[in-house]
Structure 1
Amino acid sequence: MGLILILLAMSVGMVNLASGDIPLPFADVLRTLIGQGDPGAEFIVLDLRLPRVAVGLLAGAALGVSGAVFQSLTRNPLGSPDFVGLTVGAATGALLAILVFNASGLSVAASAIVGCMITSVLIYLLAFRDGVQPFRLILMGIGVSALLEAFNSFLILRARIEDAVEAQVWQIGSVGGRDLLHVAIVGVPLLVVLPLILRLGRSLTMMRLGDETAALQGVPVERDRALLALGAVVLAAASTAAAGPVSFVALAAPHLAARLSRGSGPGVLPAAAMGALLMTGSDWVAQRILPDQDVPVGVVTAAVGGAYLTWLLVAEWRRGRRG
């Protein structure tokens, strides 16, 4: 199933490369990708569309992996960078760079990563009490997230209108106007961190059953939890730095991948593929909602994710009543 999801994500990416204001035949897109296209097609495909598609695929995969790790570590279906507050912390770092220091480009991306890291450390320290309990971690994450959301709103309200509009667009999450730098920002961390998370796959599976069970199976729980959490934080930070705080992908991708693959483990690779598919598919929709305007992909993911979250909560409520 993971391979099928990867093929679907790549197929949607190819559609995005071929479609737009100037549609191109798939044959021309393929020739351009292998270096045999004409100059006009090369500019459209390689300079304008390929970075956008690549950021969508990579950021979606990073969010899917991050969500799968957090949901396994917290043993909670709502455990994702969105709800734990990491993406809000990244947004705070970026907004400070945009609105306070008038930064742009790489400085904003670096500030988003720093903001996410600082937020993760703060939440960990607040949740730590003779170890970190998953329930307490989520509660602290929700509380910190609410405080940072209020601070972000304050920053936007006191900013000049031009800067406020730029900051608000960034907060929604978008893959438009991206370049190879943004591809590297999310691609390099994904290339480094994903093998580490896969290497710790057994530990992640055992920790889903509880710390005591994992320890009885010889898993160094605290060490592996710290490594897995650090990897998930890095991926969440990198995706947010490249595409903004795109919501609900990290939450929904692991659930959807698990339902399709019917697997009982953390399903890191299927979650990555589903995240990539959700991002590229949402971007395809976003480019076609309004004929004269490029809608940020975060608008679509928020709508889809909100509907999915409502369905998930209703399903959990019904399951609880039957139980």
Structure 2
Amino acid sequence: MSAAAPARPATAPRTSTAQALARARRGPRRRRRAVVTVLVLLVLALVLVRALLGDYRVSLVDAVRIIGGEPVPGASFVLMESTLPRALVAVLAGAAFGAAGAAFQVLLRNPLASPDVLGITLGASAAAVTAVVVFGVRGTPVTLAALGGSLLAALVILGQAGGRGGATGRMVLVGVALAAGLSAVVHWLLVRASIYQAQDALVWLSGSLNTVTWADIARLLVLDALLLPVALLLAGRLPVLGLGDDLAAALGVRVTALRVGVTLVVVALVAAATAVVGPVAFVGFLSGPIARRLVPGRPSVGVAALVGAVVVVGADHLAAYAVPGTALPVGLVTGLLGAPVLLWMLRSRPTTQEGR
């Protein structure tokens, strides 16, 4: 009798399957790392362009000397009081708007549900304009007023959305209606303001980086450093909500606490950025879809923050030099970019995605 053929190891199929899964996971990770690297380099390049290249050009060597504390006649004032503060605050505000927009869209499973479309940004704007026009305050009180206004707007939207926080067409309609009402409040405040207050408020409402100070940058830097890591941490748990509230709770997710936490972080990021640079239009709306295209399949809040920084820095440089002799508000450029994208998304989004 011939000897029986040796049996194949039972672990071979399992090993090959594990290797295939490992390879499948490495691909998206490599893509994410590559996208993040490219975006970081692009942000740095745009900051250098915005800070050094303008009506008065500053060389990189002089910039290093100035930042190191050595005065350079003419160049010191331009760099430290004008171009560099604008570039830095554009990065900080763009990151805040981008992360807030992406987190809100993932939370509500709706690409149209960004804070600037649904009235949260306008809530911050209405409260901040009230603080400036009615009470005549500046600085930290304006930030606190913007925080309160955006929080109130978020509570109204989520409370009237129906269901248990799901992103529905009704919620979009509530947000649009709230935005219209808040816009009316802002216009009423401008009507009763003095001509000088109204002029300052209109520039600010368009989204402007013209009057940024180092104190504003420090305040926004602290808030970004505190809030962005929390947004990244919470966003990693949001995809479970797509399974439904009951199944997510069965998997150990505290659904209500997660929604409240993400909403509070979004409100705080929007309020902090809006209080400094005004309601820069469509940055949160644009950053999320762009980030999802760059890194599909997972929440891209961190990538969206980098995209937002790129959008605001690039738009500010374009606004400063697109029209010779006229410095446009940065919000005008982002609005011109965002409006056609919004119309395209409304046309291309199937009606069957309602509530997703």
Q: Same fold (TM over 0.5)?
A: yes
Distance 2:207 2:215 in 1: 17
Q: Which has the larger radius of gyration?
A: 2
2:115 corresponds to 1:81: yes
Rounded to whole Å, the distance in 1 between the matches of 2:346 and 2:158 is 26
The farther-off stretch of 191-200 and 273-282 is: 191-200
Task: Give CA deviations for 1:250-283 in whole Å, capped at 9, x if unaligned.
Answer: 000111122123x211111110000000000000
1:52-82 deviations in Å (ceiling 9; x for gaps): 1111000000011101110011100101111
**Contact between 1:248 and 1:301, CA under 8 Å: does it hold in 2?**
yes
One-letter amino acid matched to 1:301 = T
Corresponding residue number in structure 2 for 1:236: 270
Counterpart CA distance in 2 for 1:188 and 1:20 is 28
Q: Which of the residues 77, 101, 117 maps onto 1:67?
A: 101
* Structure 1 residue 307: Cα displacement: 1.9
Higher helix share: 1
Taking the aligned partners of 2:39 and 2:242, their CA distance within structure 1 comes to 24
1:38-187 equivalent positions in 2, closer than 5 A? 38=72, 40-127=74-161, 131-135=164-168, 136-187=170-221
| Structure 2 Cα separation of the partners of residues 68 and 257 of structure 1 | 8
Matched, 1:14 2:43: no
CA separation in 2, counterparts of 1:41 and 1:118?
44
Match of 1:27 among 61, 69, 80: 61
Check 1:302–1:291 CA distance in 2 against 1; reply closer, same or farther (3 A cut).
Answer: same
TM-score normalised per structure 1? 0.91
The answer to whether the 8 A contact 1:89-1:116 is kept is yes
1:152-231, aligned counterparts within 5 Å?
152-231=186-265
Contact conserved, 1:29 with 1:37, CA < 8 A, in 2?
A: no
CA shift for structure 1 position 237: 0.7
Gaps of 5+ in 2: 1-34
In 2: Cα distance, 1:22 partner to 1:182 partner: 24
Identity %: 36
The verdict on how the C-alpha distance between 1:210 and 1:39 changes in structure 2, with shifts beyond 3 A counting, is farther
Q: Distance in 1 between matches of 2:288 and 2:345?
A: 13
Cα distance, 1:18 vs structure 2 = 0.4
TM-score of the pair, normalised by structure 2: 0.83
Instruction: Compare 53-62 and 116-125 and name the one that shifted more.
Output: 116-125
SS in 2 for 1:82: coil
Aligned to 2:26: none
**RMSD of aligned Cα (Å):** 2.2
Report how many aligned residue pairs link the two structures.
318
Instruction: Please give the alpha-carbon distance, in whole angstroms, between the structure 2 residues aligned to 1:264 and 1:209.
Output: 15
1:274 pairs, out of 298, 303, 307, with: 307
